[in-house]
Structure 1
């Protein structure tokens, strides 16, 4: 697999996956809140927009050029 494609997969999939699945067990043990929300809920819901951002960054950096070429013919 090309290095460029691996970097796109890393940014778009691996980072969000590790941030949610890998860190949640450690955060679940903490007993404090952020803005009045338990840290576990805050962390998981914070990653909804951050995952979208990671996918957007991955697409803009690594895949956007493919769609520009398709539109031009």
Structure 2
């Protein structure tokens, strides 16, 4: 199997934790960010942050393994 525990933790665990813990914490707040309720701003912020987590996971943990599988050099 390609990947490692750290890779999965960063790519899936961190965004999952942010959503499953952050949303209940933000849901009762009446604060706004640029006129958007905090809970929606939190969710919208995690869309690009999830992509960043996936990229970091691949870049730092899985990239070399995929290059070996494809026959490329590191």
Q: TM-score range by the shorter chain?
A: 0.7 to 0.9
Aligned to 1:14: 13
Q: Could you tell me how far apart the structure 2 residues matched to 1:72 and 1:6 are?
A: 24
Post-superposition offset of 1:30:
0.6
Larger relative helix fraction? 1
Aligned to 1:46: 45
Q: How far 1:70 moved relative to its partner?
A: 2.6
Give the alignment's TM-score, normalised by structure 2.
0.86
In structure 2, runs of 5+ residues without a counterpart are none
Q: Distance in 2 between matches of 1:21 and 1:71?
A: 36
* SS at structure 1 position matched to 2:4: helix
Count of equivalent residues:
70
Structure 1 length-normalised TM: 0.87
**SS of aligned partner of 2:47:** helix
Q: Runs of 4 or more off by more than 6 Å in structure 1?
A: none
Q: RMSD of the alignment, in Å?
A: 1.4
* TM-superposed deviation, 1:44: 0.4
> Aligned-pair distance for 1:68?
1.5
